Amino acid sequence: MKKINKLIVVALSFALIMAAGLVLDFIIYQKPNTLALTIFIVALIMIVALFIMFGNYHKAVADDVINSLNSSMTDALRVGEIGILVYNEDYEITWLSSMFNEKHLNRVGEKVLVWLPELQDLLSGKVKNVTVVINDEKYQVSKKEEAYALFFNDISREYDLSETLKNKAYVLGLVNFDNFDEASLSEDEIAYINTNIKVPVLEYFKSFGVVYKTLRNNRLQLILNNQIYQKLLDDRFSILKKVRRESKAGDVDVTLSISLTYGSDDLSELDEAASALLEIAETRGGDQVAVRELGKEAVFYGGSSEAKERQSRVKVRVVANTIRRMMQEASNVIIVGHKDADADCIGAAIATSLLAKSLKKDAYICLSGGVESMINEVLLKYDSTLKKKHNFVNEFQAVNYMNKDSLIVMVDHHSKATSNAPSILEEDNDLIIIDHHRRKADLDVDASFLYIEAGASSATEMVVEMFPYFNRGINVETEEANIMYIGLLIDTNHFRNRSDSRTFDVAKNLKQYGASNQECELMIEEPYDMSVKRYEIIAAGKRVFDNFMIADMRNDVITRSIASQAADMMVAIKEIQASFVIFSLGKNEYAISARSDGSINVQVIMEKLGGGGHMTAAGLQVKDKDPDLLYGELIDSLKEYLESVEEDESNTVE
């Protein structure tokens, strides 16, 4: 290369000298020098020849380098099992690398998404890579930015190894036979449960290869792997339905609560998580499976039965003793209800205030989030009596009354998002939750003690039940008893729903304190304009999916009480199993009130939208959300629920 460069320089210099000589000679002698001209032409030819030689040499070297690189790249792509797909602006495949040809995947000329529709999100830029399966081989596909090229990396071995490890991963679980208490059952009932419920449950898990161990007469421990868990999931835990059916046939209230946890090699961590998850399933009413991959949200299956009363009176006494001790150790008690407090919330708050006062503790009831109109009128009517015994404050005042030893009690709710004093819940104080709604899997507050009983009719019932275990000298005024009694009336729909012997015992005790059924019924009668609005809501109801009714009142500002009463009346219509009222609360807030005749679990439907409640009564409240989107989400949730029910029916285990 250097010699060629020198020759070119010498020849070019010689030619320039010759050219200069010819020009000078022509100027002096006024005629061309033939010999010099000939030499100049020869020099030019030599220079051109040298340039051609240099160009050919350079091209040969470049071709050798390119061929070498192409060979290395091809070998690298082959060894790394990487394929390249090139497409045009119309997503038509224009070229495929050798890997595709070797695997007889000649798709040139076809549309990318016609061949592999799962690449849609990758091509649109929503994801950075996608795993696809082609002829039982797995490929991770990535896209080169700003280029019409896709890279296919064969990950079959890694994928299969990962799946093998995943399938063998530990899954630990617990099974609880809800409401199975031998002390309260007859010998015939125990024999029936053992034969028709317990034995089938054991056989069910054994058929899937689950290893189980009896911890006590009503609880099992499960040991399985992820592969077995997937089979149980495909079966949709049909044992729940079988137990429910056999329980009904034998007139016993036994159901199953199951928890399953995975996502860790630490068995003690999984066992601890399974215990916590089972507690959540039980507080949500049982008859369901709760599954959690550690570090992620819990998923629930089942829960189609109304929650049964599970806390014994002995447990109530234990709970009461715990709450009494916490109140005694506190400097004062701050009682927090939910936004737009209803009769049950107010009744439970007053009852909790009475508990604190029986221990000579100052109590403050926070009412910052508003009060429903009906119970607000009752509070105004009894204003003079109530203010003599109770301290009603707003959120700002409550914060001022707080100190490091204050005890916070949440009543009739367990979420900061629905609380009427969220700033109080952020304080680093002991916190007690007393609620009768189905528990959310993950709480957004740090509670010191939970008393969540989905089987109770109301929060008022739960607090009043503790009266005998605090101080038998609790002084309850007639006005206070009436408010608590109204709380029972409203939440049980006049004792038609979720009422059992303990509910009526509480009602009897409140009457002994002076509550008047006639006076309470008169106070909750609605005025004429509210009655008109209620019937207007019912008239707006449209039948969907045969047995559901939806009243779309998105453009009307309506109180919760009217909406819930309208939903109650709609579900009383023949052949209507569930009703839903969508309405506005004003200030860009919307809500849904849902009711069921007991055959549909509206709590599950509302929970998918971010709400909650009970099987027969549930609701939802959202802010800054497009009401059209909310309506569409409700329809989708109804479809999903119906599909799951149909699948459940098809998976009956005889």
Which residue did the predictor score with more confidence, 85 or 17?
A: 85
Query: Cα 532 to the chain's mean position, in Å?
Result: 38
Nearest to 276 by CA among 295, 290, 255, 256: 290
CA nearest to 217, candidates 177, 255, 251, 244 = 177
What does the pLDDT read at residue 303? 65
CB atoms within 10 A of CB 371: 22
How far apart CA 298 and CA 292 sit, in angstroms, is 4
Q: What is the pLDDT of residues 43-92, one digit of tens each?
A: 667 666 666 766 665 555 445 434 443 444 444 455 456 888 999 988 99
116 or 25, higher pLDDT? 116
**Overall pTM > 0.85:** no
Mean pLDDT to the nearest integer, 342-360: 94
pLDDT tier at 509, thresholds 50, 70, 90: very high
**pLDDT exceeds 90 at position 635:** yes
Provide the pLDDT for residue 648: 52
3-state helix, strand, coil in the chain (%, to 5): 50, 20, 30
Specify the pLDDT at position 199. 94
What pLDDT does residue 102 have? 86
The residue behind tokens 């090699």 is 265
Pair of tokens at residue 354:
């009475």
Confidence (pLDDT) at 641: 86
The model's confidence at residue 39, banded by pLDDT at 50, 70 and 90, is low
- Say if CB 59 and CB 67 are below 8 A apart: no
Q: Is the pLDDT of residue 510 over 80?
A: yes
Q: Which of 399, 328, 385, 319 has its CA nearest to residue 357?
A: 328
Where would I find the H helices in 368-458? 373-381, 383-389, 395-401, 422-425
CA separation, residue 646 to residues 24, 406, 550 (Å)? 107, 51, 21
Name the helix (H) or strand (E) containing 140.
Answer: strand 137-143
What tokens does 497 get? 């729903």
Q: Token pair of 515, please?
A: 């509550």
Amino acid symbol at 367: L
Residues 6+ apart with CB under 8 A from 552: 540, 542, 582, 631
**What token pair was written down for 609?**
């939208």
H or E segment to which residue 207 belongs: helix 199-207
E strand or H helix at 53: helix 34-79
CB of 162 within 8 A of CB of 179?
A: no
Highest mean predicted confidence (pLDDT) among 4-8, 165-169, 227-231: 227-231
- Cα–Cα distance for residue pair 257/240, rounded to 1 Å: 9
Can you tell me which residue has the tokens 């809800």? 178
Backbone torsion region of residue 237, taken as left when φ is above 0, otherwise alpha when ψ lies between -120 and 50, otherwise beta: left
Q: What is the 3-state secondary structure (H, E, C) of 140-200?
A: EEEECCCCCEEEEEECHHHHHHHHHHHHCCEEEEEEEEECCCHHHCCHHHHHHHHHHHHHH
Asked which of 144-158, 226-240, 350-364 is least confident by mean pLDDT, the reply is 144-158
Q: How many helices (H) and strands (E) does the chain have?
A: 25, 23
- The pLDDT assigned to 42 comes to 66
Measured in residues, the chain has a length of 654
Structure tokens at 6: 């020198």
Choose among 649, 644, 643, 642: nearest CA to 547: 642
- What is the per-residue pLDDT for 54? 61
Assigned token pair, 507:
């009602």
Query: Which residue did the predictor score with more confidence, 508 or 145?
Result: 508
> Residue 308: what pLDDT?
53
**Is the separation of the CB atoms in 281 and 288 below 8 Å?**
yes
Q: Tell me, what's the pLDDT at 68?
A: 42
Confidence of residue 147 (pLDDT cuts 50, 70, 90): confident
List the single range of 44-53, 97-106, 419-428, 526-535 with lowest mean pLDDT. Answer: 44-53
Side-by-side strand order, sheet with 129-134: 93-96, 82-87, 149-154, 137-143, 129-134
Angle at which helices 478-491 and 343-358 cross, to 10°: 140
Averaged pLDDT for residues 433-443: 84
Contact 289, 260 (CB under 8 A): yes
Structure letter (DSSP) for residue 581: E
3-state secondary structure of 404: coil
**Under a CB-based contact definition with an 8 Å cutoff, are residues 551 and 581 in contact?**
yes
- Side-by-side strand order, sheet with 449-452: 391-393, 362-366, 332-336, 407-411, 430-435, 449-452
Please determine, for residue 409, whether its predicted confidence score (pLDDT) is greater than 50.
yes
Give the tens place of pLDDT for each residue, 151-185: 999 888 888 777 777 777 889 999 999 888 766 78
Query: What's the pLDDT score for residue 81?
Result: 66
